[in-house]
Structure 1
């Protein structure tokens, strides 16, 4: 029987590799190795939880709960997912990868408990879902953030014209900082904006440059 258990662990590791390879091709934080170990480890814990204490239960005539260790896998793997999530330019990154780590643990638990069809089918569904939902659909597009540095002549109404331009394009200003260079009669603006992914940032750059007050503009 232990050879069958070992095959379950190997099968879970293969499912983890498939999910991890999809993440790796998208240059995400967690790749093949991480997903492989998570799935393999979850299968191992499931097998230990389900079969590792049967002899003790038979000897002591005490009922045991085969889910007690597996339940800790579901919650305990969260610390791995938390390490994948971070903030970058006012945008949360890594949520999908963290969810993938959690789901990969579920694949390992399924195969470790002998539910091969369920585990294999769930792996295929995850891969198909990632492939389809990463398509360029407008209803799936998430907003992007960008820091813009603008150098412009310190003339009356120059800043308000920039703000009005962004509002006309439905671009949200997240932060705004202006620094006056009195020697050169210039203003340096540092703006962090949020705009739809479907909007071309290069077009925004060209649009700002058309303003007569603007001397230089760049994205950071």
Structure 2
């Protein structure tokens, strides 16, 4: 078995730490989304962060930092495609943009964790949770203080 000759316990522990932190941080983001009953919730955000972490960690272990940078670029692109699947047009309204952005950020958390930047992944988690909770209150306040939108009839008169 080739595995027995190539197994390195230190590298394994490093990978475990990357995966565990990506999973926990992604799950925290996902729990907030699940609480708000969004389409991409607990499992989806945890899996996006974990998957990004796994790809980046694997590239880094196989071929070093240069390869992990290329993989990060592909993760960004791939998760952008995944996020596009949650964006829906409903008449004049577009829904799911925040969910898509949150998935993209969960992938960034995973990429940080996979690159052994666990403190940075934690900091990013804090900012994402802040954006999805505190800024939600700011958006409501702003929307409640906006002047009413002009009607189509008024626009035609001008």
Same-fold call, TM > 0.5?
yes
Task: Give the 3 Å change call, closer, same or farther, for CA 74–140 of structure 1 in structure 2.
Answer: farther
Query: Based on CA coordinates, which of the two structures has the bigger radius of gyration?
Result: 1
Is the 1:46–1:113 Cα contact (8 Å) retained in structure 2? yes
Q: Which has the higher contact order (CA 8 A, sep 6+)?
A: 2
Please give the alpha-carbon distance, in whole angstroms, between the structure 2 residues aligned to 1:72 and 1:25.
30
Equivalent positions of 1:37-116 (< 5 A) are 37-53=47-63, 65-116=67-118
Is the 1:43–1:109 Cα contact (8 Å) retained in structure 2? yes
CA RMSD of aligned residues (A): 2.2
Is the 2:18–2:116 Cα contact (8 Å) retained in structure 1? yes
Q: Does the alignment pair 1:12 with 2:15? A: no
Number of matched pairs: 140
Is the 1:19–1:32 Cα contact (8 Å) retained in structure 2? yes
Cα offset for 1:14? 0.8
Is the 1:29–1:84 Cα contact (8 Å) retained in structure 2? yes
Q: TM-score, normalised by structure 1?
A: 0.58
What is the match of residue 151 of structure 2?
172
Is the 2:57–2:68 Cα contact (8 Å) retained in structure 1? no
What is the match of residue 34 of structure 1?
44
Is the 1:86–1:94 Cα contact (8 Å) retained in structure 2? yes
Cα offset for 1:47? 0.4
Please give the alpha-carbon distance, in whole angstroms, between the structure 1 residues aligned to 2:149 and 2:116.
53
Is the 1:15–1:123 Cα contact (8 Å) retained in structure 2? yes
Cα offset for 1:137? 3.4
What CA deviation, in whole Å up to 9, does each residue of 1:162-218 have, x standing for no partner? xxxxxxx755349xxxxxxxxxxxxxxxxxxxxxxxxxxxxxxxxxxxxxxxxxxxx
Is the 1:24–1:31 Cα contact (8 Å) retained in structure 2? yes
What CA deviation, in whole Å up to 9, does each residue of 1:129-182 have, x standing for no partner? 2111111633256x9xxxxxxxxxxxxxxxxxxxxxxxxx755349xxxxxxxx
